Structure 1
Amino acid sequence: MKIGLISDTHGSSIAFEKAEAILKNCDVILHGGDILYHGPRNPLPDGYDPQKLSHILNNLEQPIYMVQGNCDSKVDQMVLNKPILSPFFHTNLDNLNILLLHGEDYNEIDLVQLAKDYNVKCVITGHTHIPVIKEVEGILLINPGSPSIPKTEDKVPTIGLIDTEENKVQIISNDDKTIKKVYHLY
């Protein structure tokens, strides 16, 4: 199973369209929040068009599950036909227990404890706009970064991909599809 990971699109239809070129073969997409609004602390991203992005998200062929980020609100839900107003999404995809949340109120210790509380192997967050793949106490912590407003030193926009058949997680550049990081699940 291929699981697409994206977060912090912040209303950029262009960034999502580039990501969609990579994620089109995924069975499911998980979005870590901050979907449509750029937020008052962020610049307007290239291709800022929340209305167009909502149309794209509403018409995806594969399922997408989204959680509420700190920039998401009830008005965003009014234009999306998939729920976003939950701060957590807990699922099992191809025998991989996953907890998805935006994560703005959680540090690494908190995330590991949440994983233990929910009995999950993998916690996926957003918020920081910085890609991470890290194992702590047997828990895999993943942040796909941001395809629209990257906050890494090199400012490379990123998304993530979990491939349960190949047992790996990748962080991929949203611009040129370069694999930035790889982690093997087993």
Structure 2
Amino acid sequence: MSTTIDKLIETTQALLWERGYVGTSPRAIQDRAGVGQGSMYHHFRTKAALAQAAEERSASELIEDVRRVLEGPGDPLDLVIGYLRLERDVLKGCRIGRLTADPEVVADPALRKPLEEAFRWVTERLAVLLKEAQRLGRLPAGLDSQALAATVLAVRQGGYVLARAADSTAPYEQAIEGVVSLLQVPPST
């Protein structure tokens, strides 16, 4: 059985993903969690404090999902491709990435921080793997692994946006397979 705090955080995670920060009211959180106003404000002084806790948990869960793929055994380039092809509910978008379109989240350093840190972790881990792929001769040595890592993440996040705009997973899949094909081009000898 979840504690009241867990119920509030889990509910807020779901509502943030569905509605964004602006569209998530304290009343909606209380109603869905089955928790009264007094309980909510006893544990979290403000909506922003609860949203930050939910974002931190979502970021942590995202990192763990990605860690399982990127830190598994195998060829580093294959691990990056595995990350790109990681199963997701494409039309719902990224739990973290969707919040970056919310002006109140972006304007608040505390609300933006979990998003920034999660993306930084993914980018850094991708850069390490891409650098290792270069060392093994799987990618051209002259590429900037940090820039390439940022590109891989940007394609994935942008793919979500394109898919949601089209109400189809096809643009996401096309973007992912496009970057995969670029990563698999053999380096010139």
Q: TM-score, normalised to structure 1's length?
A: 0.29
Whichever structure has more helix as a proportion of its residues is 2
Q: TM-score, normalised to structure 2's length?
A: 0.29
